[in-house]
């Protein structure tokens, strides 16, 4: 089977943990699972099972053995999280429902791990831990939405991957009411998630519209426009990797090993959140550079 677009993310926006470890293993597994006719959603749910196992392990974080088990299970989840997207693109089974399932499994993995750590810390007398966890979890979701939006935008505009388009499902579609309940719920969840992404990604929508018009009006220059987009935004998008799940997994393990997991949540709230706003601000420069390039095309 030949996919209509690459199953891999653009390498220029990947950090080294994905480029040299997670996606290499995922790339090895994906074609083999495709031959076995494994559905991407099955991979997503299996990854979530790894995440639930990690939550149980981190509940016992004070034991080095359990902390290592938690980390290993989280790494397994990362690999499977890479496999489900690659498998969907390889087998051309992408869908709104699949994206929602993938997102829910990702969020439930971290929710479970946070709860596991929270239960352990609550037993140690930290009665305020649930308020801290709730705030950290909410900020985590916002940061993840922004990070994923950056990557989707790069894949869509820079690499012409149509499946990565950041758009709301059409909730006014008259055929939606006739669809199964699960698909209707998936459409509404996908719409809410996309709106969150739009709100926090730091994307200049005027430049986005200018780019859309340029591609439509000058099809002969499409390749050059997309190449310039990649050159302009690659380093900016790569910087957003600091908010990726990979580094959260490493952080959780490191703080658990030193028996201070509370500090992971402190970093989530007081370090990663300001970092997101700094990254949003830093995107202004490439936005301006690319807008100037687009203006030059029409002058």
Return the CATH number at 206. Answer: 1.20.120.1760
What does the pLDDT average to over 109-124? 96
Give the model's pLDDT for residue 226: 96
**High-pLDDT (> 70) share of the chain, %:** 94
What does the pLDDT average to over 214-237? 94
In a domain, 82, yes or no: yes
In a domain, 112, yes or no: yes
What does the pLDDT average to over 274-299? 91
What does the pLDDT average to over 110-114? 96
In a domain, 209, yes or no: yes
In a domain, 1, yes or no: no
Give the model's pLDDT for residue 8: 65
Residue 113 pLDDT exceeds 90: yes
Query: How far, in Å, CA of 193 to CA of 21, rounded?
Result: 28
| pTM of the entire predicted model | 0.88
In a domain, 6, yes or no: no
**Lowest-confidence region among 129-138, 159-168, 216-225:** 159-168
Selection from 112, 121, 177 nearest residue 140 by Cα:
112
Query: How far, in Å, CA of 142 to CA of 238, rounded?
Result: 18
Domain total of the chain: 1
The band of 165, judged by pLDDT with boundaries at 50, 70 and 90, is confident
Residue 120 pLDDT exceeds 80: yes
Position with higher pLDDT, 190 vs 65: 65
In a domain, 156, yes or no: no
DSSP string, the chain: ---SS-SSPPGGG--HHIIIIIHHHHHHHHHHHHHTT--HHHHHHHHHHHHHHHHHHHHTTTSHHHHHHHHHHHHHHHHHHHHHHHHHHHTT---HHHHHHHHHHHHHHHHHHHHHHHHHHHHTT-TTHHHHHHHHHHHHHHHHHHHHHHHHHIIIIIH--GGG------TT-TTGGGS-HHHHHHHHHHHHHHHHHHHHS---HHHHHHHHHHHHH-GGGHHHHHHHHHHHHHHHHHHGGGGSHHHHHHHHHHHHHTT-THHHHHHIIIIIHHHHHHHHHHTHHHHHHHHHHHHHHH-
Give the model's pLDDT for residue 103: 73
The band of 3, judged by pLDDT with boundaries at 50, 70 and 90, is very low
Residue 2 pLDDT exceeds 90: no
Query: How far, in Å, CA of 185 to CA of 182, rounded?
Result: 5
Token pair of 240, please? 């957003």
In a domain, 158, yes or no: no
Q: Could you read off the pLDDT of 66-110 as tens digits, one per residue?
A: 999 999 999 999 999 999 989 988 998 877 667 777 777 788 999
What does the pLDDT average to over 47-76? 97
* Average per-residue pLDDT for the chain: 89
Q: Could you read off the pLDDT of 170-180 as tens digits, one per residue?
A: 677 777 777 88
What does the pLDDT average to over 288-296? 93
Give the model's pLDDT for residue 244: 94
In a domain, 3, yes or no: no
Residue 15 pLDDT exceeds 80: yes
Q: Which domain holds residue 236?
A: 11-151+163-298
């Amino acid at each position: 089977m030949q996919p209509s677009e690459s199953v891999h993310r653009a390498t220029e926006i990947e950090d080294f943990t994905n480029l040299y470890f997670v996606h290499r293993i995922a790339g090895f597994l994906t074609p083999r699972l495709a031959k076995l006719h494994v559905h991407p959603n099955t991979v997503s749910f299996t990854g979530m099972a790894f995440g639930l196992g990690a939550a149980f392990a981190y509940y016992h974080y004070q034991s080095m053995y359990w902390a290592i088990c938690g980390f290993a299970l989280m790494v397994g989840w990362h690999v499977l999280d890479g496999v489900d997207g690659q498998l969907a693109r390889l087998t051309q089974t992408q869908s709104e429902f699949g994206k929602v399932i993938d997102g829910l499994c990702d969020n439930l993995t971290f929710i479970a791990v946070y709860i596991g750590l929270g239960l352990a810390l609550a037993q140690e007398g930290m009665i305020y831990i649930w308020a801290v966890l709730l705030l950290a979890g909410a900020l985590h979701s916002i940061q993840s939405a922004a990070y994923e939006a950056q990557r989707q935008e790069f894949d869509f505009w820079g690499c012409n991957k149509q499946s990565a388009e950041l758009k709301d499902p059409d909730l006014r579609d008259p055929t939606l009411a006739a669809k199964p309940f699960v698909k209707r719920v998936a459409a509404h969840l996908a719409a809410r998630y996309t709106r969150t992404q739009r709100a926090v990604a730091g994307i200049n929508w005027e430049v986005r519209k200018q780019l859309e018009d340029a591609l439509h009006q000058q099809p002969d220059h499409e390749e050059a426009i997309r190449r310039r987009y990649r050159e302009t935004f690659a380093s900016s998008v790569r910087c957003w990797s600091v908010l990726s799940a990979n580094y959260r997994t490493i952080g959780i393990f490191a703080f658990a090993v030193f028996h201070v997991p509370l500090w992971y949540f402190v970093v989530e709230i007081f370090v990663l959140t300001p970092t997101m706003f700094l990254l949003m601000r830093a995107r202004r420069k490439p936005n301006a550079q690319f807008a100037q390039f687009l203006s030059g095309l029409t002058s």
